Amino acid sequence: MFALVDVNNMYVSCERVFRPALNGKPVVVLSNNDGACIARSNEAKDLGVKMAQPWFEVKHLERSAGLIALSANFELYGDMSSRMMVLASRYAPRQEIYSIDECFLDFEGVPGDLAAIGRELRRQVLQWVGLPTSIGFGPTKTLAKLANHVAKTADRKPGTYPQRLAQVCDFGALRSEELDDVMRRTDVGDIWGVGRKTAPKLHDAGIRTVLDLKRADAAILGRQFSVVMQKTVRELQGTPCLEVEDDPPAQQQIMCSRSFGNPVTALPDLIEVVSGFATRVARRLREQQGACNAVHVFITTSPYRTRDPQHSPTATLPLPRPTADTRTLVNAAVTALRGIHKPGYPYAKAGVMLVELQSDKQEQTSLHLFDEPEEVQPDGRRDLMATLDALNERFGRDAVGIASAVKRSARSTHASRQERRSPRYTTRLDEVIVARA
């Protein structure tokens, strides 16, 4: 069995741990440069705020409905994420960190009542870290993800699913007709592996619910749509097609991680590895015309070498602006690595994850060209990186130093466009919470 553990409204939940006054209020967290809503509290969802909706479209709700907007505080979210991930990893033999707020756990060979284990994990994360989670168990990753959707939706909207499936939902404990009922209540657009563009096409083909999709012919849909679709159908039918640590089908985040053949201890070696990972994820980011807002780096010693000293630090470095620039991303990853590496520990695994992806079109509209005269864009549709690459090719490698330019601009733009950022409560001593005595 697999479990998918994820934090409800992660960024908003992190803010609420340190600002209790935000509880029960409509809250959104804005992307870099305060451009778009990248996280919403349930109350904000109820106001109709959509995911990735531009801030200017909902700004009027500040006055009319008390909507509270905060600038993204990735340093805080990254630290809270690593706390949650470490706790979750202790419950199963294998963990795949899938994004900043979700991970898969592989419970293969674990006996006992999984739902009870899930409830204990949920309770512990809530008490220790303060974050509310939803947990779904299923025999495949797609089913675990669906179970997670059920757990979360049943909690948020009573009546959508049986109430006993709220918060922690174990498909393994359902009879087949109960599982069919859950699938009948779920639109195909709500499951993993079915994109926003694919859902209407499935609807046109008469496949409206997840149950319809499960009963479809995987091979035919595979030919009609894609290999991903074929895998999705097989997974819904209970045949695992995706292993833990497999690449996720949808590129909602980009990660590169690997276990080493032999432990790596020296910083220069780790820098080489992490730089390689960052280079690779940057390329993948540009392939999908994306840009990211923060870089998350982790290194970990082997939990299986119990006699070795253990060290599993992570760091998240927010970027001054969304980017897909290899040099910026490598620079950020190495900076993060230097901050967390401790000499002497035999690290067994490392990873680089790009956090909070958006399309590079968004990036271009949020660029304030007048602030950055050195970064001229003759054509708003052209890829920024391609433009700069071309400039560099034409005028020599140092003509436009992107990494250094971003660094220089970091201080000036960071402050001015993150006006609503809360303190970095867990990573800066002068920003910890204050208690009255």
* Residue 387 buriedness (CB in 10 A; 0-12 / 13-18 / 19+): middle
What is the biggest distance separating any 2 CA atoms in the chain, rounded to whole angstroms? 68
Q: What gap in Å lies between CA 158 and CA 153, rounded to an integer?
A: 8
Nearer to another protein, 149 or 341 (CB): 341
Measured from the CB atom, the residue of 102 and 383 that comes closer to another protein is 102
Of 202 and 241, CB closest to another protein = 241
Q: How far is the CB of 122 from another protein (least distance, A)?
A: 15
Nearer to another protein, 216 or 244 (CB): 244
Residue 320, phi then psi, degrees to nearest 5? -65, -25
Q: Which is nearer to another protein, 171 or 277 (CB)?
A: 277
Residue 280's closest CA among 329, 217, 238, 241?
Answer: 329
CA dist., res. 300 & res. 312, Å (int): 4
Query: What's the closest the beta carbon of residue 34 comes to another protein, in angstroms?
Result: 24
Angle at 313 between CA 351 and CA 336, to 5 degrees: 65
Cβ 86 to another protein, closest distance in Å?
Answer: 5
- Judge whether 422 and 18 are in contact, CB under 8 Å: yes
- Minimum distance, C-beta of residue 251 to another protein, in the bound complex (Å): 14
Question: What's the min distance (Å) between Cβ of 116 and another protein?
Answer: 20
**Residue 130 or residue 132: which is nearer to another protein going by CB?**
130
Nearest distance from C-beta of residue 332 to another protein, angstroms: 17
Nearest residue to 222 (alpha-carbon basis) of 197, 193, 246, 244: 193
Q: Which is nearer to another protein, 22 or 388 (CB)?
A: 22
Parallel/antiparallel/unpaired status of strands 102-106 and 133-138: unpaired
Residues 106-114: contacts with CB within 8 Å, 24+ apart?
106/2, 106/244, 107/1, 107/2, 107/3, 107/137, 108/1, 110/1, 114/1, 114/3, 114/170, 114/172, 114/173
Distance CA 144, CA 184 (A): 16
Strand partners, 294: 318, 355
Give me the residues that bind another protein (CB under 8 A), please. 20-21, 83-84, 86-87, 127-130, 245-247, 256-266, 269-270, 272-273, 276-277, 280, 302, 304-305, 308-309, 311, 342-346, 348-349, 425-426, 429, 432-437
Minimum distance of another protein from residue 235's CB (angstroms): 19
